[in-house]
A and B are shown apart, each in its own frame.
Chain A
């Protein structure tokens, strides 16, 4: 979204970086969740993907 478009009187929209940030936040949440699950698996079972 460039400033030229807002100057022609089109309606106000959220810049695209915001969605990038939102995607980044979502990715971080997913990564943090994956890491937490891996940590719990490692601490409880001693391995991440196999059962001893």
Chain B
């Protein structure tokens, strides 16, 4: 074997070993691209799935957003209408407030006037109360005087009653003496003449007795306009007397007067007076008659 062959063998061996070492080193330290690819692919799939989920969520969110938008638009229009209504109400309330303020001013002036009037009335009331106190004092004083006068009057009344008793006994005595004197004078054809005083005695004024309404009511039975006579439905049994004047009325309108001339137990006849000229106001049967209007 030649030397060259040997050298080549050695060089070939060294080169082979060197090259094999480099290859082994490279292969051992080389990256596993398949594993990386698988990892990246799985990550890609995951990202794709997430993208689809995100797109689905985005679409759902868009749909929901559109619905919310429509709903909010409706609410905005409703709120706009409510705002317009509230503005109208506010305007109305402001007008009412102005009216109320104006009324308040009027009432304040009225109250002020009433307060002044009340003060005046209170002053008048105080004056009236003072006057009433004075009048009460005077009334008490007058009442005392009246009591004294009443006591004196009672005392005078007792004296008068006593004097009347004496006067009555004197009149009886006078009557007895008068009868006796008449008896003696009649035997001689003479009579006793009551002496009249030369000067007229003035009597004190006396209080007239109390007068009460007779209050008789009846109706006309018959009317004779030719002789101006009328007959009424009540008589002496009811208290009718001659000379009584009955007023004839028809539906609260005056017709005439009837002055009683003759009285029977159950009816009476009278003279018609104050007859009116109108035919419709002439008395006729059935008209009411009464002593008092």
A binds B: yes
A48 partner residues in chain B, CB cutoff 8 A: none
Please count how many residues in chain B sit with their CB below 8 Å of the partner chain's CB atoms: 20
Question: Which single member of B6, B20, B33, B34 contacts A32 (CB below 8 Å)?
Answer: B20
A33 partner residues in chain B, CB cutoff 8 A: 19-20, 23-24
Contact bitstring B1-31, A, C-beta under 8 A = 1, else 0: 1000110011011001101100110011010
Q: Is the CB of B1 within 8 A of A16?
A: yes
Chain A proximity of B56: nearest CB distance (Å): 33
Contact bitstring A13-52, B, C-beta under 8 A = 1, else 0: 0101001001101110110110011001000111000000
Evaluate whether A25 and B23 lie within 8 angstroms (CB atoms) in the complex, with A19-B1, A44-B32, A44-B35 already known: no
A25 partner residues in chain B, CB cutoff 8 A: 13, 17
A46 partner residues in chain B, CB cutoff 8 A: 34
Please count how many residues in chain A sit with their CB below 8 Å of the partner chain's CB atoms: 18
Q: Is the CB of A26 within 8 A of B23?
A: no
Question: 10 closest A-B pairs (Cβ-Cβ)?
Answer: A33-B20, A26-B13, A26-B16, A29-B20, A22-B13, A19-B9, A44-B32, A40-B27, A45-B34, A29-B17
Q: Which residues of B contact A (CB under 8 A)?
A: 1, 5-6, 9-10, 12-13, 16-17, 19-20, 23-24, 27-28, 30, 32-35
